[in-house]
Amino acid sequence: MSYDYDLFVIGGGSGGIAAARRATEYGAKVGLAEFDRLGGTCVNRGCIPKKLMVYGSHFPHWFEDAKDYGWSVGEATLDWTKMTKVVNGEVDRLNGVYQRMLDKADVTVYRGYAQFIDAHTLKIGEEKVTADKILIAVGGIPEKADVPGIEHAIISDAMFTLPQQPKRFVVLGGGYIGVEFGCILNALGSQVTQIIRRPYILRGFDHDIREHLQNSLIEQGVNVWGNTEITSIEKTKEGFKLTTTGDRAETITADVVLAATGRIPRLEKLGLENTSVEVNNGAIAVNDYSCTTVPNIFAVGDCTDRINLTPVAIQEGRAFADTEFGGKDRIMSHENVPSAVFTSPEAATVGFTEAEAKEQFGEDDIQIYRARFGSTYFSVTQRKEKAMLKLVVQKSSDRVLGAHMVGEAAAEIMQGVAIPIKMGATKADFDATVAIHPSVAEEFVTMR
């Protein structure tokens, strides 16, 4: 049977664009549908604009540290409007870059929602297209808690278009998105309260990361309300009044409330009911090759809810294209995927947490190496930020199973540490590596 396209991609985010471009390199005719801006969550509402705001939030600390190093620093004020303008200007520039990349690759872009009519046919507006293979790469969306008044809370998308900096900022949720925005606003001078259902932030991360980072944020002035849940939000003349239950059963008033309690796959309007694609726990079910329960339909990225990170979606998309169009049998390994939380201080991790390692290999076969200290940079400043570095090692093999860090440049350091862990390096290999002194990273090769 003849089709309009060899591949049609639903979604113009990181995973979809990576797959589309790679498939065209193998000679495939590719179409792509996107109802919103190209680049997906990461470029438009996530990684890039958020990281720019993280950079902007560092300056107050640096101004204070500069005085301790002998610099004369005058009064510094933030122009919130200018900051958000330049952040969104960079997003606009990247949208143009993605459009040019797709144009150069001869990918036909359709603007609108793509909906399945059957396993090979899609409807986009009033137009129908057919494809031999279809890739779903629609990403995810924020999910709000089901409590009265939750409509008064914003989601993370809106953080980049707030008309002014909120003086009183409340974050609902302790995941990395909520923690990062809470840290940004706190550093910029807002009064920040983080309301979390559990004792510690960052569920799923190693406990030492969770505890060390939470204590650091509290020392910096973030009000962390653990074991606390929101029960209602009410709009008043003074602001938004939140009522809570749990360890902190009280009320608090905020100028802005950010709902950051999780994300779910964005499967609405896809018309999956017109196919035999299976959905499990709200996510598209796929095998190791990103193939759904329909042989010609595939899915990558956050809509599969495997590891919801931009580089993972890109790798999944490229592996799919290599296998289906490049004649290469390739899958994306989801083991030892590094990740980072861009707080201040940063947190980063790769491999097994201590709890995961003990569960899989037994407590007696796990050795923990840990260091906590202040870096040389803070030795002459009033600010005394502590770093925490940790290695999880299997005793029987001496293999380093995981590395975790909170501190200066944690993300940059962990990217390098992830390579030997991915390769199966041992603690002896780490010990045999000469340290770069003085640095924070040297602790990874000097811990005893």
Please identify every residue annotated as catalytic: 437
Tokens (6 digits) for 211 = 């505890």
